[in-house]
Amino acid sequence: MFIKFKFKIKFFYLILKNFLLKFRETEELLKKMEEFLNWIVPFYLRENHYYLTLAVGCTGGKHRSVAIAEMIKDRIEKMIEDIDEFERNVDVALSIVNAQTKITINF
C-alpha cells in the first residue's frame, strides 16, 4: 500500500514539474537560484560553515513549492557533480515543515 502511495506522489510531482516548466518564469527562477548558489556557496565553504538551508514557501495549497524545491535540489546535486573541488561529502536533503519546503545542503 505504501509503495503505491509513494509512486502516486512521485508521479503527481512529475506531472506538476512538467506543467511548471512550461512557464518561462519557472526556468528564470531556477537559473537565478543557480546563480545565487554559485555565488554564495564558496563563501560558506571559505568560512567553514557546514550547511546552507534554503526555504521555498507557498500558501496556495497546490504543492508548487515542493515541485520547485525538488527542481532546485536536482540542480544543486548536478552542480555538485560538476565541481571537482569538493573534498567533503556533500548531502542535499529536502524536507517539508509547516507549508514550507526546505532544502539543506550539508558540506
Place of cell 524536507: 95
Report whether 48 contacts 101 (CB < 8 A). no
Cell matching residue 104: 539543506
Task: Indicate if the pLDDT at residue 36 is higher than 80.
Answer: yes
Report pTM. Answer: 0.75
pLDDT score recorded for residue 10:
74
What does the pLDDT look like over 15-25, one tens digit per residue?
888 999 999 99
Residue 102 vs residues 22, 47, 59: alpha-carbon distances, Å: 24, 22, 15
